[in-house]
Copies of this chain bind each other. A is one copy, B any other.
């Protein structure tokens, strides 16, 4: 399961970014936006968040109200995600679960709209959202650290007939019982929880910066400093895969394999277990290349040079021969795999060779 992995888009058909923003507002929204803005550090004096150009007319507010009343829910079923933090956990889990309803979503008997509400830290705001959920006939998922807030959420949902699920509650309870200690009940923004930015966090940031500087074979002299090195021909997904793995705290370098060009010497000097050689089915790569050439607006001759069947085959052969000469490299077929799937394969193989206290391969971490 674990579909989509905090990246809601892979299985969704509509682009994630709304392209035609419209103005909207309400007095409540403005008050609340201002409060949020102050907390988020926006300099209100310089540029109020409810500046004139972002304010809405009364008509617009009216339109909005009728929308809230549920007149336009024909578009699809709504799911509310309410969090006292960033909301990524709720988003991630619900997107993964939606993977179990692909048929429904693809056939569009009914589409699903998710609405993510983050930093909901007071009860008034919480109840306002749940009231809206009831009006929209939405269901509600929540991740609220403060026990009194999650209790309120449950009670309000039950009372208003809103189907609700507490996502993190059972997980926290399980851990509390296992460790024999009580959870703090502190939200992400609470004063007691300010030490998020520790050494490990800065190591992660460093990994991301390393990975970007190292992209596309730049600085081969630094390959030895990488935790993981990806090699493969053009369009095997090295770049997005690198940045995805970097987000998890690993320094990733990638080296493109171009026919006739010898890879940098340093590549053959690093530990082979760090090198992951990407391969892909010929026809799939050719199709991806053809699409790419169109996107770039390359002319027909250039396109043929890049995506011609024979040339793509030769390039894959060229790479395969180098792979064969380096038996210590793991060869990963990325055909039809999403980057998070390939990342999971790579990280597992990477950790396979490390010490572990279990008899089956796993990724172990200490907190």
Known contacts A2-B87, A6-B5, A143-B96; A333 and B200 CB within 8 A of each other: no
The answer to whether A116 and B170 touch across the interface, beta carbons within 8 angstroms, is no
The answer to whether B16 and A204 touch across the interface, beta carbons within 8 angstroms, is yes
| Count, chain A residues at interface, CB 8 A | 184
CB distance from A47 to the nearest CB of B (A): 4
The answer to whether A7 and B249 touch across the interface, beta carbons within 8 angstroms, is yes
Known contacts A344-B86, A344-B88; A175 and B3 CB within 8 A of each other: no
The answer to whether A92 and B93 touch across the interface, beta carbons within 8 angstroms, is yes
Q: How many Å lie between the Cα of A6 and that of B91 in the bound state?
A: 11
The answer to whether A355 and B24 touch across the interface, beta carbons within 8 angstroms, is yes
The answer to whether B240 and A101 touch across the interface, beta carbons within 8 angstroms, is no
Contact partners of A199 in chain B: CB under 8 A? 13, 15
The answer to whether B2 and A188 touch across the interface, beta carbons within 8 angstroms, is yes
Interface stretch of the complex, out of A37-45, A258-266, A300-308: A37-45
Q: A224 in the interface, Cβ–Cβ < 8 Å?
A: no
Q: A151 in the interface, Cβ–Cβ < 8 Å?
A: no
Q: CB-defined interface of A33-75 with B at 8 Å, one 1/0 digit per residue?
A: 1001000111100110101011000000000110110001001
Q: CB-defined interface of A161-205 with B at 8 Å, one 1/0 digit per residue?
A: 001110110111011111101011111100001111111111111
Q: A141 in the interface, Cβ–Cβ < 8 Å?
A: yes
User: Which partner residue on chain B sits nearest A173 by CB separation?
Assistant: B165
Contact partners of A119 in chain B: CB under 8 A? 344
What number of copies of this chain does the assembly contain? Answer: 2
CB distance from A341 to the nearest CB of B (A): 6
Q: How many Å lie between the Cα of A344 and that of B54 in the bound state?
A: 20
The answer to whether A360 and B129 touch across the interface, beta carbons within 8 angstroms, is yes
CB distance from A267 to the nearest CB of B (A): 16
The answer to whether A101 and B359 touch across the interface, beta carbons within 8 angstroms, is no
Q: A294 in the interface, Cβ–Cβ < 8 Å?
A: no
User: Which partner residue on chain B sits nearest A41 by CB separation?
Assistant: B333
The answer to whether A330 and B47 touch across the interface, beta carbons within 8 angstroms, is yes
The answer to whether B338 and A29 touch across the interface, beta carbons within 8 angstroms, is no
Q: A8 in the interface, Cβ–Cβ < 8 Å?
A: yes
Known contacts A88-B2, A132-B359, A212-B212; A41 and B367 CB within 8 A of each other: no
User: Which partner residue on chain B sits nearest A208 by CB separation?
Assistant: B240
Can you name 12 extra interface pairs (CB under 8 A) apart from A2-B89, A243-B246? A1-B84, A3-B196, A6-B88, A13-B200, A14-B367, A21-B353, A32-B361, A41-B335, A43-B333, A113-B357, A114-B365, A196-B338
6 closest pairs, A vs B, by CB? A41-B333, A2-B85, A100-B183, A86-B344, A16-B249, A1-B145
